[in-house]
């Protein structure tokens, strides 16, 4: 009953929030002198704080309407898997959305309601504590085995150094966990980064994938979505739990 009430309240909040003013616009990768991970504003304040997982669980309730209570997101890629993501990455992305550096009109009204850097740190700590669901959107197109194999070659050549052999990313360097992420979300984000539409993108990553064809992006996304992180994935058949 409690879950149903929270979910209904979240949906009602969404309708009200989306009627508010649009997000601000801040110059990003398209601007001269853009610094991908500038240590400034509320982001740096949130990074200094110790996130409270218990309070973060309450803060996250409004997020669950889209990203699900488990943090699994949606297999069709409309909403990414968040569970197990590095708190540093979450803080950066939410702060960028709040500041208008990353365009996400759907999420902006929700990110906007976080009251201060402490709530930003709390929500991120809670999301990071969740295990990564085993079931997520994978590549199901033609010649799946070949696409994954081709994607593995590309990944190990140019992506592994930053995102790790198991898609574990790097917390200190703000490189995201991609293990367990939905194929369609990965493909959309990499396409937007390649095409200059993700304004808070890492310029180093843009350089890497700029030459990639659409077919290569499909292959590498297919492989990335097949990755799993030992010790971070949810147990098969078990309810979503926090990581030990």
| CATH number for 91 | 1.10.760.10
Q: List, for residues 188-231, the tens digit of each pLDDT value.
A: 999 999 999 999 999 999 999 999 999 999 999 999 999 999 99
- What crossing angle do the helices spanning 117-129 and 53-60 adopt, rounded to 10°? 90
Percent of the chain exceeding pLDDT 90 equals: 77
Determine the average pLDDT of the residues in 77-105: 96
Question: What pLDDT score does 238 carry?
Answer: 60
Question: What pLDDT score does 38 carry?
Answer: 84
- Cβ contact 129:240 at 8 Å: no
Question: What pLDDT score does 21 carry?
Answer: 63
Q: Does residue 243 form part of some domain?
A: no
Total domains present in the chain: 2
Q: What is the mean pLDDT of the chain?
A: 90
State the pLDDT confidence band at 24, using cuts at 50, 70 and 90.
Answer: confident
199 and 118 together in one domain: no
9 and 121 together in one domain: yes
Q: Is the predicted pLDDT of residue 6 greater than 80, yes or no?
A: no
122 and 148 together in one domain: no
Question: What pLDDT score does 33 carry?
Answer: 85
Q: Is the predicted pLDDT of residue 119 greater than 70, yes or no?
A: yes
The secondary structure of the chain, three-state, reads CHHHHHHHHHHHHHHHHHCCCCCCCCCCCCCCCCCCCCCCHHHHHHHHCCCCHHHHHHHHCCCHHHHCCCCCCCCCCCCCCCCCCCHHHHHHHHHHHHHCCCCCCCCHHHHHCCCCHHHHHHHHHHHHHECECCCCCCCCCCCHHHHHHHHHHHHHHHCHHHHCCCCCCECCCCECCCCCCCHHHHHHHHHHHHCCCCCCCCHHHHHHHCCCCHHHHHHHHHHHCCCCCCCCECCCCCCCCECC
Range of the domain at 211: 144-224
Up-side HSE of residue 120: CA atoms within 13 Å toward CB?
25
25 and 109 together in one domain: yes
Determine the average pLDDT of the residues in 230-235: 96
| CA–CA dist 124, 126 (Å, integer) | 5
Question: What pLDDT score does 240 carry?
Answer: 60
Determine the average pLDDT of the residues in 122-144: 96
Angle at 221 between CA 215 and CA 224, to 5 degrees: 145
Which of 104-113, 157-166, 171-180, 198-207 has the least mean pLDDT? Answer: 104-113
Q: Does residue 57 form part of some domain?
A: yes
Greater pLDDT, 6 or 51: 51
Answer with the one of 73, 95, 129 that is the final residue of a domain.
129
First to last CA, the chain: 28
Answer with the one of 72, 105, 129 that is the final residue of a domain.
129
84 and 155 together in one domain: no
Q: Does residue 66 form part of some domain?
A: yes
Answer with the one of 78, 94, 129 that is the final residue of a domain.
129
Q: Is the predicted pLDDT of residue 138 greater than 90, yes or no?
A: yes
Question: What pLDDT score does 72 carry?
Answer: 98
65 and 179 together in one domain: no
Q: Is the predicted pLDDT of residue 76 greater than 70, yes or no?
A: yes
């Amino acid at each position: 009953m409690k879950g149903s009430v929270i979910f209904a309240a979240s949906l009602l909040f969404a309708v009200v929030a989306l009627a508010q003013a649009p997000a601000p616009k801040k110059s990003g990768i398209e601007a001269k002198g853009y610094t991908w991970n500038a240590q400034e504003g509320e982001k740096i304040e949130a990074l200094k704080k110790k996130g409270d997982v218990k309070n973060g669980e309450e803060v996250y309730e409004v997020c669950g309407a889209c990203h699900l209570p488990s943090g699994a997101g949606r297999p069709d890629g409309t909403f990414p898997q968040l569970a197990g993501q590095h708190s540093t990455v979450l803080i950066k992305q939410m702060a960028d959305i709040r500041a208008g550096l990353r365009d996400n009109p759907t999420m902006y009204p929700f990110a906007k309601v976080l009251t201060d850097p402490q709530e930003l740190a709390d929500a991120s700590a809670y999301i990071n504590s969740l295990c990564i669901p085993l079931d997520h959107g994978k590549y199901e197109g033609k010649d799946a085995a070949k696409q994954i194999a081709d994607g593995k070659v590309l990944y190990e050549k140019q992506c592994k150094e930053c995102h790790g052999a198991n898609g574990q990313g790097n917390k200190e360097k703000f490189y995201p966990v991609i293990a367990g992420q939905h194929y369609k979300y990965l493909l959309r984000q990499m396409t937007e980064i390649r095409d200059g539409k993700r304004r808070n993108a890492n310029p180093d990553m843009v350089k890497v994938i700029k030459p990639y064809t659409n077919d290569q992006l499909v292959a590498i996304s297919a492989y990335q979505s097949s990755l799993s992180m030992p010790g971070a994935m949810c147990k098969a058949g078990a309810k979503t739990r926090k990581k030990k």
